[in-house]
Chains A and B, each alone.
Chain A
Amino acid sequence: MIPSDLSAELIRRQLPCGGWSALAASAQAALEPTCYSVLALGSQATDVRDRGYSFLVHAQNPNGSWPAFAGDDHDGSWVTSLVAIALRDIVPSIPARLKGLHWLLSSAGKEGNWLWKWKFRTADRHVRFDPDKFGWPWFPDTVSWVVPTAFAALALNQLPCSCGGFDLAQSRVDRGVQMLIDRACPGGGWNAGNGVVYGAAVAPHPDDTAIALLALCDRQQEPVVQASLNYLERTAPALTAPWSLAWAILAFAAHGRPTALLRGSLLTFPDLSYLEDTSTLALVCLALDHEHASTKLGVTI
C-alpha cells in the first residue's frame, strides 16, 4: 500500500509537458523518472499517467530510441529499455514500443565488435572479462554495463514472440545474461561493470545488484544469483538510502524472498515525500506496492 502523501507528491511533481524531472526543483523533463513515475502511479491517477504516456511517446527519437531527457540529442540512450517496459500495456503505443525494441536490438556494447574484442583479449587485460559476452551500453559507442544490460534483458523478455523481426532477441538476451554472470563480483553482487579491475576485486553496489537480480529472476539455479541474493540479504537491512533499499525490495519480491521488514524500514526514512530525487520517490512507491511492481517491471515470477 502506497502512503497517499507519497503518490500525491509524485502527482504534484508532474510537469506541464507530462513528464517528470530528475530533481524536484528542475523544469527539465527526464525519461528515467518519468518511466518510474508512470509505473508507480496506480489506477487512481489515470489522467496523470496518460499525460505521462503521451509525453513518452512524443519524446521518441526518429530512429526509435529514446533520449535521456527532453531536448537531448537524437542518438538514443539506455532509457529506451525503461520506456519499452513502461509502455508495455498501452495499446496505442505498440508501434512506438516495437520501434524502440528494434533499436535496442541494434544497440550493443562496443566490445561486441571484433576489433575491440581483439583489443580486450590481447592488449588491454587490466579489466578482467570475457568480451564474447556482451550486453548493452548506457549510450551508443561505449561498452556494456550491468544496469543497461539488465534493463534491456527485462524489456526484450516481454516480447510475446520472435515474429516481426525479433528473431535475434532471445539470443541477445541470452548473451546479455551471460555477460551479467561473467561480470559479477567474486563474492556475489554487481558493481557498475566488471567484478575485477587491475587485479583487485571491486565491491558490489546494492542497487546494481538488485537490478541485475531482477533480470536474472528466471536463473535462480545459477550460483552467482544465489551468492548475489545472499550478499543483498546481508546488506539490505543496513542500507541508509531509500533508492538502494527500494531496489533491494523489488529484487527480493521477484525472487520470492520476504520483504515485510525491509518495507517497514523503508517507511521509517524521514521526509520521504521531500526526497529531491523524483526517481527515488517513484521507486519507493513501487517498492511499497511490490506485489504489482514486479509485473509492472516485466518480471515473470
Chain B
Amino acid sequence: MSLTRRDLLIGSAALVGGASVSTPFFLPKYHFDQRPKRSRVAVLHADQYCQKLSQILWEGLRVFSINVRGKKVVLKPNLVDYLPGSAINTHPMLVVAAAEAFRRLEAKSVVVAEGPGHQRDTQLVLSRSGYQESLRGEKLRFIDLNRDELIRTPLRASYTGMKELWLPRTVLEADFLVSMPKIKTHHWSGVTLAMKNMFGIVPGARYGWPKNILHWKGIEESILDLCATVSVHFVIADGIIAMEGNGPLNGAPRLLERIVLADDPVAADATCARLMGFDPGRIAHIREGACFLGNAVPELIDQVGETVRPLATPFREVPEFVKLYAF
C-alpha cells in the first residue's frame, strides 16, 4: 500500500490538530518553579491562648534566620465569621504575639490584613472575635482587604484559566507576607491551611461575599493560582484549638496544642496535614503545589521542634474526604 500525497496531508493535519488540542493538558500550568532547595518547619507545643504565647513564638522564630529589618510586614490571619464557642478564626492572641515578635525583629511596619469571606461587616467580626480590643491594645492597624485599593494583577499560573485578578495594594506591596491560618478541615477542599488562607486576599468588593468566582473556577485551582502569584514568605499556623468535621465554619473544636511555623507554605500545609492524620499527597493542592511552590516530602523539610507523630484519633472529615487519611 502506498501513501498518496492526499493521505499525507490529511495525516499531518490530524497530527497537528491532535497535538494542539492535547498539548495544553500535558504542559505545566505554572510559569515559574519557586521551590526552595530545602524548607524549614517548626512544630511548637502550646496548650492554651495566654501571655506565654509571645515567648513560645519568639523562641520558635529564632530557629529561622528571618530578616525583616526595615521591611513592611503583613500578617494575614484567617478571620471568616464569628460563631460563639467555635474555632473558626486564628486566635487574636497569636496574631498579637506575632506582631510583637516582628516588631522586635525591627520590621519597619506590621499590619494585620484580612478580607472576611462570609461577613460583609468586617468590624462586627473584629469586635465579636476579640480582634478589635487586642489590636487596639497593641496599636496594630487592621486593613480590610475586602475594601482596599485594588491593582490588576496577572496570574503566574493558569490552573483556573483566569488571566488576572484584582488584588489589594496592601498585600502586593508587602515586603514580608505571613499567612496565619487556623488549622481546620474544609468540606470542599479537605483542609484549609496556609495556602487556602490566601483566599482572604481576594477582595469581596470586586468578587463578592463569599468569593464565589473562586469556587466556580475550582477551589484547588484557585489556591494554586493565588499562591503562585502572591508569595507567602512565612507561615504561623494556629493549631492550639483547631477544627475538625464540617469545617471551615460548622466543624467542632479539636484540641491539637500545636503552632506550626514554616518558611514555605507547602511544607507548612504538608506538616499540618500530617499532624491532622492525613496524607498530604492525597490533598490535591498540596500535591500539585509541591511541583512548583514548595516542598511537601519530609526528606526536603528540616523539621525542628516537636516531631510529627500520628494522632491516636485523626481529625474527623466529611465523608467525601475520608480518602485523605494516612492509613
A residues adjacent to B (C-beta < 8 A): 21-23, 26-28, 30, 32, 68-69, 72, 77-78, 110, 126, 137-139, 141-143, 145, 147-148, 191-193, 197-200, 202-203, 205-208, 239-244, 276-277, 279-280
Contact of A69 among B119, B150, B246, B250 (CB under 8 A): B150
Q: Are B123 and A110 touching (Cβ within 8 A)?
A: no
Residues from chain A with a CB closer than 8 A to the CB of B72 are none
Q: Are A138 and B209 touching (Cβ within 8 A)?
A: yes
Q: Are A277 and B213 touching (Cβ within 8 A)?
A: no
Say yes or no: A244-B124 contact (C-beta < 8 A), given A23-B148, A192-B210, A198-B246: yes
Across the two chains, which residue of chain B brings its CB closest to A200? B250
- Identify the stretch in B200-208, B272-280, B307-315 within 8 Å (CB) of chain A at 4 or more residues: B200-208
Across the two chains, which residue of chain A brings its CB closest to B203? A68
> Roughly how many angstroms separate A139 CA and B213 CA in the complex, as a whole number?
8
Q: Are B205 and A69 touching (Cβ within 8 A)?
A: yes
> Roughly how many angstroms separate A22 CA and B121 CA in the complex, as a whole number?
13
Across the two chains, which residue of chain A brings its CB closest to B164? A73
B67 on the A face (CB < 8 A): no
> Roughly how many angstroms separate A267 CA and B53 CA in the complex, as a whole number?
38
B233 on the A face (CB < 8 A): no
**Interchain residue pairs A-B with the least CB separation, the first 8:** A138-B208, A241-B124, A22-B147, A241-B123, A142-B212, A200-B250, A240-B127, A28-B149
> Roughly how many angstroms separate A72 CA and B165 CA in the complex, as a whole number?
11
Using a CB-CB cutoff of 8 Å, which residues 94-153 of chain B contact chain A? 118-124, 126-128, 143-144, 147-150
Q: Which of B144, B147, B207 has the most CB of A within 10 A?
A: B147
Residues from chain B with a CB closer than 8 A to the CB of A143 are 212
Using a CB-CB cutoff of 8 Å, which residues 136-177 of chain B contact chain A? 143-144, 147-150, 166
- Contacts A/B (CB < 8 Å), 11 sampled: A23-B144, A26-B148, A138-B209, A138-B212, A142-B213, A193-B210, A197-B250, A200-B246, A203-B81, A208-B120, A277-B144
> Roughly how many angstroms separate A242 CA and B127 CA in the complex, as a whole number?
11
- A77-B206, A198-B246, A277-B123 known, 12 other contacts, Cβ within 8 Å: A22-B148, A23-B147, A32-B205, A72-B150, A78-B208, A110-B216, A139-B212, A205-B120, A206-B124, A207-B120, A240-B128, A243-B120
Residues from chain B with a CB closer than 8 A to the CB of A276 are 144
CB distance from A16 to the nearest CB of B (A): 16
> Roughly how many angstroms separate A27 CA and B148 CA in the complex, as a whole number?
10
Q: Are A138 and B207 touching (Cβ within 8 A)?
A: yes
Q: Which of B81, B121, B187 has the most CB of A within 10 A?
A: B121
Residues from chain A with a CB closer than 8 A to the CB of B216 are 110, 141-142
Residues from chain B with a CB closer than 8 A to the CB of A142 are 208, 212-213, 215-216
B residues adjacent to A (C-beta < 8 A): 81, 83, 118-124, 126-128, 143-144, 147-150, 166, 187, 205-210, 212-213, 215-216, 246, 249-250, 318
Residues from chain A with a CB closer than 8 A to the CB of B212 are 137-139, 142-143, 145
Residues from chain A with a CB closer than 8 A to the CB of B318 are 198
Q: Are A205 and B119 touching (Cβ within 8 A)?
A: yes
CB distance from B26 to the nearest CB of A (A): 28
Say yes or no: A202-B249 contact (C-beta < 8 A), given A68-B205, A69-B205: yes
Residues from chain B with a CB closer than 8 A to the CB of A199 are 246
Residues from chain B with a CB closer than 8 A to the CB of A198 are 187, 246, 250, 318
CB distance from B320 to the nearest CB of A (A): 9
CB distance from A143 to the nearest CB of B (A): 6
Q: Are B121 and A207 touching (Cβ within 8 A)?
A: yes
Residues from chain B with a CB closer than 8 A to the CB of A148 are 208
Residues from chain B with a CB closer than 8 A to the CB of A30 are 147, 205
Across the two chains, which residue of chain A brings its CB closest to B166? A72
CB distance from B18 to the nearest CB of A (A): 28
Across the two chains, which residue of chain B brings its CB closest to A79? B205
> Roughly how many angstroms separate A112 CA and B210 CA in the complex, as a whole number?
19
> Roughly how many angstroms separate A197 CA and B149 CA in the complex, as a whole number?
32
Q: Which of A22, A145, A207 has the most CB of B within 10 A?
A: A22
Q: Are A141 and B213 touching (Cβ within 8 A)?
A: yes
Across the two chains, which residue of chain B brings its CB closest to A78? B208
Say yes or no: A239-B124 contact (C-beta < 8 A), given A137-B212, A139-B208, A141-B213: yes
Across the two chains, which residue of chain B brings its CB closest to A140? B213
CB distance from A251 to the nearest CB of B (A): 14
Residues from chain B with a CB closer than 8 A to the CB of A206 are 121, 124
Q: Are A147 and B205 touching (Cβ within 8 A)?
A: no
Residues from chain B with a CB closer than 8 A to the CB of A243 are 120-121, 123-124
CB distance from B54 to the nearest CB of A (A): 27
Q: Are B150 and A28 touching (Cβ within 8 A)?
A: yes
Residues from chain B with a CB closer than 8 A to the CB of A21 are 149
Q: Are B206 and A137 touching (Cβ within 8 A)?
A: no
Say yes or no: A191-B207 contact (C-beta < 8 A), given A69-B150, A142-B213, A239-B124: no
> Roughly how many angstroms separate A290 CA and B147 CA in the complex, as a whole number?
26
> Roughly how many angstroms separate A279 CA and B81 CA in the complex, as a whole number?
20
> Roughly how many angstroms separate A140 CA and B126 CA in the complex, as a whole number?
30
> Roughly how many angstroms separate A143 CA and B123 CA in the complex, as a whole number?
26
> Roughly how many angstroms separate A48 CA and B38 CA in the complex, as a whole number?
58
